[in-house]
Amino acid sequence: MTIKVGDRMPEGKFKRMTEKGPRDLTTAELFNGKRVVLFSVPGAFTPTCDAKHLPGYLQQAEQLRAKGVDTIACMAVNDAFVMNAWGKASNVGDKVLMLADGNGDYARALGLELDAKGFGMGVRGQRFAIVVNDGMVTQLNVEEPGQFAVSAAEHVLRQL
């Protein structure tokens, strides 16, 4: 079943790189008591993700925070090492939290997995953006295949 507006975010965990190496970050730690924009990309360093999706959130980070967003998080079905390298290559700093959903467990829990086997990428997460307020979905923007519009930072900013 696919997540929808008004639903609570499912429990789960991500991996994120820390100074001590990869560490778990639970959804409770990410969402509880916070307003979060979680956006998902099919893969780190892939064309649209690298050229438009992540850069848009970096450019709009201050405006999103001014609208009450506590955390901006990027999720992909990649490992923590790849997400960390992508974050460094994109000069993310502390603007966007780079989260690895290495086995696609969280994408599946949301009902937003993507079969990219035809591209040699296995099962990934769809391109989407979710606004979460204290664990509750308040906005859900899932892209149609091959599209990039409703999950863009500018679109999310207009919704807040």
46 φ/ψ angles, rounded to the nearest 5 degrees: -75, 155
Active site residue: 17, 25, 37, 49, which one?
49
DSSP string, 101-142: -TTSHHHHHHT-EEE-GGGT--EEEPSEEEEEETTEEEEEEE
CA within 13 Å, CB half, 19:
0
Q: Which amino acid is at 114?
A: L
Nearby residues of 79 by Cβ (< 8 Å), 6 or more positions away: 15, 22, 100, 102
Q: Cβ distance 109 to 14 under 8 Å?
A: no
Q: Say how far apart CA 87 and CA 89 lie, in whole Å.
A: 6
Whether 74 is a known active-site residue: answer no
Q: Which residues are catalytic?
A: 49
